[in-house]
Amino acid sequence: MDRLTISSGCKGFLLMDAILSIDPESIRGRHIFQNDPIYLCIEALAQLGALHVRYIHDFQNHAFLLKINHFQPPAVHMLCGTYMLTGKRVSQTHRAFVYALTATGDSGECFSGEFIFAVADYDKNFKQEILTRHYRQRFSCLKTDSKTA
């Protein structure tokens, strides 16, 4: 049997296949898992939230996961199928952002949690000229959803 591989065209470790919608308060994306461990769903949600923080900062700050306040996985052991990833910013300070993040599988299982992200100015370790371009390109690739183009 031949195997069909679908790629967003983005390089590197990325657990989103597409950004379906985005506005200043929320983001929706999609990822297809293929018998993957549960922790990859946590990573996918963290990537979704951090990308939204970068977006609302016009990609001018480094964003990173600071803490997961709580996370509720369903009683499955492996991820398989299409998952809709949703994030809603529920509060923020000048440098910290709290998100309610959810992944819902096409079989109905749901993962949810509260994730805290922070931003920092770019510096010698996180070079703005490299990372701003990198995340803008990644964002553009995901918004285009080249799999369906």
DSSP state, residue 77: S
Indicate whether 1 pLDDT > 70: no
Name the token pair of 137. Answer: 């390109």
Percent of the chain with pLDDT over 90: 60
Question: What is the domain partition of the chain in residue ranges?
Answer: 18-141
**Is the entire prediction scored with pTM above 0.85?**
no
Give the mean model confidence (pLDDT) for residues 95-123: 94
Over residues 7-32, the mean pLDDT reads 82
Quick: pLDDT tens for 41-61: 999 999 999 999 999 999 999
Architecture of the domain whose range is 18-141: Roll (3.10)
Tokens representing 143 are 């918004």
Closest CA to 72 of 17, 115, 30: 115
Work out the average pLDDT over 115-121: 94
pLDDT confidence bin for 76, thresholds 50/70/90: confident
pLDDT grade for 13, boundaries at 50, 70 and 90: low
> Span 13-28, mean pLDDT?
92
Summary mean pLDDT of the chain: 87
State the distance between the two ends of the chain, measured CA to CA, in whole angstroms.
25
To which H or E segment does residue 55 belong? helix 39-56
